[in-house]
């Protein structure tokens, strides 16, 4: 890895920040340009997805990522619980740079970033690692199917027809895991049939594919200890587009919750510089069959944690109030991190954020209703765009 990758990486992470926003606004296809000003494709309403091809890479769009979070449990006689994150990013270089000659083993056209993190729920130990590579022998993404790699980390299909996949990852010599992931319900296309608006601009959109409930089984190795069998549940987002973050947006709060009753909740609040919430923010329920419904919401931080490493102050215990689409009644949840110290410092890319394993509790805090992952950005400093 060389220093000249830092600028492309900052662009990658900044655009990624913008594309994580969800919105229900509608635009006619005639209002949406086909290309950005610098020549990248713009997501279009009414796209007909083709699988497994659309699980793969889309290099004609500026930015793309495959994002996995989940909860793992070891088998008896000594049960333990872990949370994990595995993220593969792809960013297209400016088209004029991509056209320049490159060494045979590498390319200028695509930059690949990956993050891995693991938290031991029992002890609170949190470890993570980042990687950044150019397209070439050590990083690639297939355009035909799900087949990603960054060094010895990989995410690929074991059975494309069943959409069963395998994740191989780890954190330096501290942890390694090989996990098989199988969908327990159909994939979800967020937004309007997979066309997800990101803001007022006609180019502010992405295509968005999610597996909200993946059954996980596999093996975890911690340091020099013998391998242990693990099982659990995971969530996977795959998104691609070419838009950028608005100048008045500083960060977001995001939640993926898997309830014990077989449903899920995806929530997103995009924060503005003046302290208000951007109207593109949304909450979506996913029912047991994979059908989606948006609902009103209220997101109220109750406690905060100050990072001793960055000084950033992150919300922690959250009261989430919404409407249950199944009953029409008010639903109140408490979102509670298992541990406060789940902050990734962004040593490679310079973007610090908090991403951690949580549990979902009843309004009185007495009953566990599900598990979740929460992401908090822009608290160390505003997530800015290289303009």
The answer to whether residue 368 is domain-embedded is yes
The answer to whether residue 135 is domain-embedded is yes
Number of helices (H), then strands (E), belonging to the chain: the values are 2, 25
Domains held by the chain: number: 1
The answer to whether residue 382 is domain-embedded is no
| Closest among 149, 112, 148, 114 to 128, alpha carbons compared | 114
The answer to whether residue 385 is domain-embedded is no
For residue 199, what pLDDT is reported? 65
For residue 28, what pLDDT is reported? 57
The answer to whether residue 384 is domain-embedded is no
Q: Which are the contacts of 204, defined by CB distance < 8 A and separation ≥ 6?
A: 18, 197, 198, 243, 246
For residue 244, what pLDDT is reported? 66
Q: Quote the domain boundaries for residue 56.
A: 3-377
For residue 387, what pLDDT is reported? 24
The answer to whether residue 182 is domain-embedded is yes
Report yes or no: 176 and 196 within 8 Å, Cβ to Cβ. Answer: no
For residue 268, what pLDDT is reported? 85
Q: How far is CA 7 from the centre of its chain?
A: 21
For residue 29, what pLDDT is reported? 53
Beta-strand ranges (E) seen in 4-124 are: 63-74, 81-92, 106-120
For residue 204, what pLDDT is reported? 74
For residue 239, what pLDDT is reported? 92
Tens place of pLDDT per residue across the chain (387 aa): 433 444 444 444 444 444 444 333 455 555 888 888 888 999 889 999 999 999 999 999 999 999 999 999 998 778 999 999 999 999 997 755 444 554 444 445 899 999 999 999 999 999 999 999 988 888 999 999 999 999 999 999 999 999 999 999 999 999 999 999 999 999 999 888 988 877 667 777 889 999 999 999 999 999 999 999 999 999 999 999 987 667 788 888 999 999 999 999 999 888 988 999 988 888 999 999 999 999 999 999 999 999 999 999 999 999 999 999 999 999 999 999 999 999 999 888 678 999 999 999 999 999 999 999 999 999 988 875 432
Q: Which residues pair with residue 197 across a beta bridge?
A: 205
Q: What CATH number has the domain bearing residue 101?
A: 2.40.370.10
């Amino acid at each position: 890895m060389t220093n000249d990758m830092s600028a492309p990486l900052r662009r990658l992470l900044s655009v990624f920040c913008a594309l994580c926003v969800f919105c229900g606004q509608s635009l006619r296809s005639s209002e949406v340009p086909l290309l950005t000003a610098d020549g990248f494709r713009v997501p279009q309403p009414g796209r007909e997805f083709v699988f497994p091809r659309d699980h793969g890479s889309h290099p004609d769009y500026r930015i793309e990522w495959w994002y996995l979070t989940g909860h793992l449990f070891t088998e008896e006689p000594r049960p333990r619980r872990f949370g994990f994150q595995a993220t593969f990013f792809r960013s297209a270089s400016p088209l004029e740079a991509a056209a320049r000659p490159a060494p045979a083993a590498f390319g200028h056209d695509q930059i690949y970033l990956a993050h891995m993190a693991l938290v031991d729920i029992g002890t609170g130990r949190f470890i993570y690692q980042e990687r950044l590579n150019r397209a070439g022998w050590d990083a690639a993404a297939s355009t035909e199917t799900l087949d990603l790699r960054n060094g010895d980390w990989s995410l690929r299909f074991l059975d494309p027809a069943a959409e069963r996949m395998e994740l191989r990852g780890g954190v330096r010599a501290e942890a390694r895991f090989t996990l098989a992931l199988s969908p327990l319900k159909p994939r979800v296309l967020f937004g309007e049939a997979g066309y997800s608006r990101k803001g007022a601009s006609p180019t502010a959109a992405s295509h968005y594919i999610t597996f909200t409930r993946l059954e996980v089984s596999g093996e975890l190795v911690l340091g020099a200890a013998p391998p242990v069998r693990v099982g659990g549940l995971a969530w996977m987002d795959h998104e691609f587009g070419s838009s950028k973050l608005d100048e008045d947006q500083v960060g977001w709060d995001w939640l993926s919750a898997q309830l014990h009753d077989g449903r899920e909740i995806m929530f997103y609040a995009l924060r503005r510089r003046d302290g208000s919430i951007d109207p593109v923010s949304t909450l979506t329920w996913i029912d047991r069959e994979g059908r989606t419904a948006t609902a009103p919401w209220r997101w109220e931080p109750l406690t905060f944690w100050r990072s001793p490493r960055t000084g950033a102050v992150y919300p922690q215990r959250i009261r989430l109030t919404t409407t249950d689409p199944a009953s029409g009644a008010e639903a109140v949840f408490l979102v509670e991190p298992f541990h406060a110290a789940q902050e990734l410092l962004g040593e490679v890319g310079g973007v610090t954020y908090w991403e951690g394993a949580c549990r979902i509790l009843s309004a009185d805090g007495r009953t566990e209703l599900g598990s979740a992952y929460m992401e908090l950005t822009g608290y160390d400093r505003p997530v800015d765009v290289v303009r």
